[in-house]
Amino acid sequence: MRFLSSARAALASILLFLGVGLAVAQAPPAKGTNSALPVIHVDNGANSAAAQKAHYVVLVSLDGFRWDYARRDGAKNLLALGKQGVSAPEGMLPSYPSLTFPNHFTIVTGLYPEHHGVVANNFYDPDRKASYSLNDHKAVTDGTWYRGTPLWSLAESQGMRTACMFWPGSEAKIAGYQPTYYLKFDNTIDPEARIGQVLAWLKLPEADRPHFITLYYASPDHEGHQFGPDAAETKAAVLKVDGLVGKLKAGLDATGLPVDLVVVSDHGMVKVEGGWVSLDKFADLTGFDAAGSLLYTANEESRVRLYNQLKKASPQFFVYRRKDVPADLNYNQNPREGDPVVIATGPYAIRARTPPAGKPDEAPIPGMHGFDARKVPQMKAIFYAAGPDIVVGRTVAPFENVNLYPWLAHMLSLTAPKSDGSLNVLAGTLRDNGNDSGQ
């Protein structure tokens, strides 16, 4: 979570994707299963004839699964998936900031956070004069906060049914659509029951069967935050979710359907160095509102003053006027990013203010993310995929996660809008691009 104003807020934030209370019907369990999960069904019609002929994509996110965890801990199912298809042995680059909501929405829109609008897990919009928080039911389920066309909306608009077993943004109506099937986020739902629901969706009649499905797990992010990335608890969580990937893969194989399984993470995890870096120890924040380390004021004179006070204040961060943030961060155009913008130079826990005198303060939690992956490589995420559209035994160099969107759309035979990603980056992993199935 982005350089947080409260140590415990990091743990709280990963546990909530609060849902939307729409008055729509709950989908019945698929025949032959014992699923009783509270699936919400939106009547988007039946699959078109063209959609029924398309292949299937199941996109899985393992939150906070660092790029090197699989080899480090012997995650046999993920490693096997890479051998059966493709992988990024040195990791996939998350967009800045390397946070849960921004990167999940980047993966399904192909847009950098400043372009799709979710610039942090918590932020303020000066134009709306309103705040967004991943813990705010009303904001999370309000589609007007989001820009771009997520894959489920793209598919639905082109006659293809979709389903989301959790994903940031999936509980809001965005670009005119919601998934045909989705659930309100509830991290208490049994991990294997989630797999059961995915398989149940794939047993629906062809007219109703979703071709694009998402599945999300909050581990090993939760454990990485609480105990640190190198803790025994985090390693146990890595192996647990790896086991779930193995069960999902076996279940998908048993369907006999042409399913491409794609497993990614939103970001990695790093051990925090030192205690809190509080910006109010270096400068006067009078007149500024803050969300974590994001700073907001309507007064240009105050922005200039604060920038000048902070620009040489500490080797633990850089400070920029928003327009001057380095271009490779893609974080210099959206007013939601605040101004000035503070960028950590390493794994430091940055916050705007120290708690008032007499209020309790706690040390930062052991593990954090949100940093620039090019400066803190522990932020890199995972990428594993295998299926009928993917070559066998191919590895790819680290690539930006915006490139997943056109690649996933291509496998679903969808016409994708222009995004910040390019199909060319991963074209060498696709069998229909003149690649054979071998090395």
Q: Which of 100, 162, 214, 297 is catalytic?
A: 100
Close Cβ partners of 175 (under 8 Å, ≥ 6 residues apart): 143, 148, 149, 150, 153, 154, 157
Report the alpha-carbon distance of residue 13 to residue 222 in Å, rounded.
10
Annotated active-site residue 100? The verdict is: yes
In angstroms, how far is CA 125 from the centroid of its own chain? 21
Report the alpha-carbon distance of residue 40 to residue 180 in Å, rounded.
8
Is residue 229 within 8 Å of 378, Cβ to Cβ? Answer: yes
Per residue in 205-243, is it b (16+ CB within 10 Å) or e — as a string? eeebbbbbbbbbbbbbbbbbbbbbbebeebbebbbebbe
Residues designated as active site: 100
